[in-house]
Structure 1
Amino acid sequence: MSSILTNNGAMVALQTLQSVNQNLTDTQNAISTGKEIETAKDNAAVWAISKTMESDIASFEAIEDGLAMGDATVAVASAGAEQIVEKLVEIKELIVSAQAENVDHDKIQTDIDSKVDQIESIISAAQFNGANLLTSTIDGTATEMGVLASLDRVGAGGTVTSTDITISAQGFDSSLDLAADLTSISDTDSAASALAEIETFLQTAISGAAALGAASARIDDQAMFVASLVDSMTLGVSTMTDTNMEESSARLSALQTQQELAVQSLGIANEAPQALLQLFN
């Protein structure tokens, strides 16, 4: 039945045109912003996941900065510890040379005193931003330094726990107090005593330098892992939310064609009631 009051064809054509226009607007917005999922109404589930991941990415980027700071602190201490080992080796060489009777023990002791002063200077100077891992306390109170290494999340939106890399203060200011604990050389007997003592000091310094080197290597490895993790997570968020430009370009062309056809269909439908006039001619 045809009616001059209700144009069913025009209603259908209008709904089709409105749907095409909405899809066309969405596609144009996705292309212009580069985001297919920009707000929660676009896709609530994907948007929620992406926001959680974005917060984690920001946290891991901050962790990267913290690891860089920790690595610099350990690197300074490690360089100092290795330099101390070299000075202790030089002191040991002097003590060995003092085992002979026909040497000037006073001059040897003067050289040793100079190197002891240098070791003390290295210990006090091996600090980065006020943190010294070679002394008994890192900042005057703490005996350990924690470097935030990771944030671990259990389940989507679950509890986040932190993981630290802990580096202990080496306490060289007390364990390598050569000025007080190393026997002064005045003859072969005192040189023999000093030789046993310097060996203990040397092993202490070597152990401390090795511990700092291992800590530095661990921080470097963790920094590389975190950087790779941030890249992977960023790519994951991009895959979920960014616009596929090739697909959107093809969709835009198709929608523009559909829009033209929908306009033509609506025009044809609007002309239908006029055809009823011919029934009364």
Structure 2
Amino acid sequence: MSRAAIRQPVRLARGPASRGARRPSGLPWEKPMPLNSINTNMGAMVALQSLNRTNDELSSVQKRISTGYRVADAKDDGAAFAVAERIRGDMAATTSANQQLGGVKGLLEVSNSALENVSTSLNKLKEITIKLADGAITSEQRTQYQAQVKELTNNIKSFITDASYNGLNVLNDPAALGVKVVSNGQGGYYTFSGYSAVTNVYNGVSDANTYTTGGAAAALTTSGALSTAITNTLTQLNSFGSYSNYIENQISYNKDILDAQESGLGSLIDADLAKESARLQALQIRQQLGSQALGIANQSPQLLLSLFK
């Protein structure tokens, strides 16, 4: 290599400023200088906006904690609130249906109790009628047995006529022969039949001539008044027992539906209080820091005024 080549001066590349070229945007030296003004306090404006956002979030969290709901009204979440209102309506309807079923359950319990007492009285009446069918008993014994028959027959009528619940008697009310009750929240119905026990049980027994040996024997036959009354009573006990089982099962089923609806409603609108409590503490700290930042920013105009003292 020649000495001339070695001695050539090295030319340094000039920067954009030295060549008069336009500086690329986004470089540090392109940032605008902050405006020092007593009329416009940008720092205070930014701090105030941040504090307002924090206060809004804090208000929302406090609302969720105080109500226990993540969605307390349509403003929180319109779609979720609409679904929640529909679920609440369904729950109210199911609850109302269960209340009605509870009344029917009471009615059937009273009716079953009356029929059980009628059945017990009929069995006692059968025992006495067997004795009255015996031609070997004395006249005095027959008179005593006849008095017992009369008392038991009157008891049967009392059991039937007293079997009322909330003014309704399905054993002695022609209007209650077909009872229709709402069974669920969708307006479904369950219908069961009443029974004219006075006609089918009491009248047959009271009209039977069990005071004589022949009359008592006739009442005990398969087609006799007493046997027919016993058969009718047992048949209705079976039917009313089935009605009661259905009502109890439907009440239990409706309760299961209510539990599921309540669980779904809670998942939809309930607030996570543990999470909200932690967020409340964080926002309270942020609120304090925001207030301090705003206070510092508000001191900037005073510092500018000190330059003119």
TM-score by length of 1: 0.82
C-alpha contact 1:27 1:251 (8 A) present in aligned 2: yes
CA–CA distance in structure 1, aligned partners of residues 185 and 271 of structure 2 = 29
- Does residue 1:85 correspond to 2:119, yes or no? yes
TM-score by length of 2: 0.75
Q: 219, 242, 249: which one pairs with 1:194?
A: 219
Q: 118, 140, 165: which one pairs with 2:155?
A: 118
Could you tell me which amino acid in structure 1 is paired with residue 78 of structure 2?
A
Per the TM alignment, residue 9 of structure 1 is displaced from its structure 2 partner at its CA by 5.4
C-alpha contact 1:185 1:194 (8 A) present in aligned 2: no
CA–CA distance in structure 1, aligned partners of residues 263 and 138 of structure 2 = 70
Q: Give 1:182's aligned residue.
A: 208
- Does residue 1:40 correspond to 2:74, yes or no? yes
Matches within 5 A, 1:107-256: 107=143, 108-137=145-174, 141-152=175-186, 162-176=187-201, 177-179=203-205, 181-187=207-213, 189-196=214-221, 197=224, 198-256=226-284
Identity over aligned residues, as a percent?
28
CA–CA distance in structure 1, aligned partners of residues 169 and 176 of structure 2 = 10
CA–CA distance in structure 1, aligned partners of residues 215 and 302 of structure 2 = 125
Q: Give 1:158's aligned residue.
A: none
Matches within 5 A, 1:14-53: 14-53=48-87
Q: Give the match's secondary structure for 2:185.
A: strand
Paired residues, number = 267
Could you tell me which amino acid in structure 2 is paired with residue 109 of structure 1?
Q
User: Which segment drifts farther, 173-182 or 116-125?
Assistant: 173-182
User: Which segment drifts farther, 104-113 or 64-73?
Assistant: 104-113
Larger RCO, structures 1/2 (Cα 8 Å, 6+ apart): 1
CA–CA distance in structure 1, aligned partners of residues 138 and 242 of structure 2 = 41
CA–CA distance in structure 1, aligned partners of residues 69 and 135 of structure 2 = 84
Per the TM alignment, residue 202 of structure 1 is displaced from its structure 2 partner at its CA by 0.6
- The structure richer in strand per residue is 1
Q: Give 1:157's aligned residue.
A: none
Per the TM alignment, residue 78 of structure 1 is displaced from its structure 2 partner at its CA by 0.8
Q: Give 2:102's aligned residue.
A: 68
Q: Against the structure 1 CA distance between its residues 130 and 238, is the aligned structure 2 distance closer, same or farther, given a 3 Å change threshold?
A: same
CA–CA distance in structure 2, aligned partners of residues 20 and 240 of structure 1 = 25
CA–CA distance in structure 2, aligned partners of residues 104 and 66 of structure 1 = 56
